[in-house]
Structure 1
Amino acid sequence: MASSSPAPPSESKKPRGKMADWFRKVLSKKSKKMPTSAESTPSDVSQPSSQDDPPRMGLSSAVSSTPPPPPEGTTSNAGSSSSSSSSRRWSKDYDVCVCHSEEDLVAAQELVSYLEGSSASLRCFLQLRDATPGGAIVSELCQALSNSHCRVLLITPGFLRDQWCKYQMLQALTEAPGAEGRTIPLLAGLARTAYPAELRYMYFVDGRGPDGGFCQVKDAVMRYLQTLS
């Protein structure tokens, strides 16, 4: 009995290598026909950041925060301005130096009493009251003029006759040569034509008023003191 030999492979079957190539071609054609989804690569997906990347600022951190209050012990601008004004006023011994003749001592005392007793509590220098006993008259006067913010010249007929008063007037003008409000002439008992020529460029206070011009003198001193701020 003759042995049967295995049948040769059918020619219709494809080799394995060709089958794999054919299968890959079919898959590639299907992938090309499939539409790409817009959701496949969303733009808002956060990517992992490396540790070296700086952290992103959120909305709350982008808005500037309110600066912290100043540390204790610091003063505001208003407080420092007020302190500066006060220190400049107290840098001199007197607010007003009253220059007068000996025969007008009573009128000068009344003026000083008014200025010191007012709500402003102005510090006044009156020579016969405040000069240092034993001190040189000229030195005491020059020191008082330089240590006073303002000078009031009580100009009367006695003032114009006294050479010492004329020296006081010239010394006061030397300390404050311009019309700065520091030298305040108070004209009392004199006509305007008798006003000293050295003071013609300055306005004077007319002492013929009910209070002798004392209130106007006080207001003039206070206006100057306010300029120190």
Structure 2
Amino acid sequence: MASSSPAPPSGSKKPRGKMADWFRQVLSKKSKKMPDSAESTSRDVSQPSSQTDPPTPDLSSPTSSTPAPAPEGTTSSTGLSSSSSSGRWSKDYDVCVCHSEEDLAVAQELVSYLEGSAASLRCFLQLRDATPGGAIVSELCQALSNSHCRVLLITPGFLRDPWCKYQMLQALSQAPGAEGRTIPLLAGLAKASCPAELRFMYFVDGRGPDGGFCQVKNAVLHYLQTLS
């Protein structure tokens, strides 16, 4: 009786070598399908934070370097207190210089001195600051009312000029008392030649080395300090 040979393997079954290749392909496909987020998450955890991130603010340090405003009543480098400085800006000018046309050069020197001082005093000079086309009377009265102090440059030319006398009377009518607002600067005249309306006031002697400019400046600053 002949022995039967074993049946050949079914055609549907794959050889072992091919089966191993098939498993390797499946595993490789699964590894490729891993989400990128997991990989990026692992990278983010392993890497240190960027050096360009803004530093955490120090809450203990001051938030602003701007100095605090000076307390009321303190004195600044200009010699004016904080309260007087605020009252100073209530008018357009600190000083109105009243002079004759022939004394324009001296008036310009005085204005340059006052404006160039540490206090930077604001001066009205008629031929420089008057509105072109404006009426002389209106301009003179407005300059006097918009100025804290008035400097009268008393010279022989001042006494001869009717507009100077008009300014002097207007200044006295606005401040009739000796309040320090009207400052006579006597130049080239003796006290006896001073107008009778000004003889009850102390005047600045312009015969000094600086023409009395420093004394005028100190008188203006003294008045500005009285403002509240």
Report the TM-score range of the alignment, normalised by the length of the smaller protein: 0.5 to 0.7
C-alpha distance in structure 2 between counterparts of 1:179 and 1:153, whole Å: 14
Residue 215 in 1 paired to residue 208 in 2?
A: no
What residue ranges of structure 1 are gaps of 5+ in the alignment? 1-74
Q: Percent identity?
A: 86
Deviation at 1:77, TM superposition (A): 10
1:79 aligns to 2:72 (yes or no): yes
TM-score, normalised to structure 2, is 0.65
Q: What's the counterpart of residue 124 of structure 1?
A: 123
Gaps spanning 5+ residues in structure 2: where? 1-67, 75-80
1:159 and 1:90 map into 2 onto residues whose CA distance is: 30
Alignment of 1:50-69 (within 5 A): none
Tell me, in whole angstroms, the C-alpha distance in 2 between the residues paired with 1:79 and 1:162: 44
The CA distance in 2 between the partners of 1:212 and 1:76, in whole Å, is 38
Corresponding residue pairs, total: 155
CA RMSD of aligned residues (A): 1.8
* Secondary structure in 1 matching 2:142: helix
**How many Å separate the matches in 2 of 1:83 and 1:192?**
37
Cα deviation for residue 171 of structure 1 reads 0.6
Q: Deviations over 1:163-188 (max 9, x none)?
A: 11111100110111110000000000
Query: For the residues of structure 2 that align with 1:80 and 1:211, how far apart are their CA atoms?
Result: 32
Q: Once the 2 structures are TM-superposed, how far is the Cα of residue 85 of structure 1 from its aligned partner? A: 2.7
Amino acid at match of 1:169: M
Aligned residue for 1:79, secondary structure, equals coil
The answer as to whether partners of 2:97 and 2:123 remain within 8 angstroms in 1 is: yes
Q: Matches of 1:80 and 1:114 in 2, distance apart?
A: 27
Other-structure match for 1:98: 97
Separation in 1 of the partners of 2:126 and 2:96? 8
TM-score, reference length from structure 1: 0.64
Corresponding residue number in structure 1 for 2:12:
none
Runs of 4+, deviation exceeding 3 Å:
75-84
Q: Deviations over 1:125-158 (max 9, x none)?
A: 0000000111111101101100100000000000
Partner SS for 2:134: coil
Cα 1:222/1:83, change in 2 over 3 Å = closer
Q: 1 CA distance for matches of 2:114 and 2:70?
A: 31
Q: Offset of 1:107 from its aligned partner?
A: 0.4
Distance, in Å, in 2 between the alignment partners of 1:78 and 1:150 is 27
Name the aligned partner's letter for residue 181 of structure 2.
Answer: R
Matches of 1:159 and 1:76, distance apart in 2: 45
Look up the SS of the partner of 1:152 in the other structure. strand
Partner Cα distance (2:142, 2:114) in 1: 21
In the alignment, the residues of structure 1 paired with residue 69 and residue 220 of structure 2 have an alpha-carbon distance, to the nearest angstrom, of 28
CA distance in 1: counterparts of 2:83 and 2:70, whole angstroms: 10
Please state whether the residue corresponding to 1:154 is helix, strand or coil: strand
Mapped to 2, the partners of 1:174 and 1:148 lie a distance apart of: 14
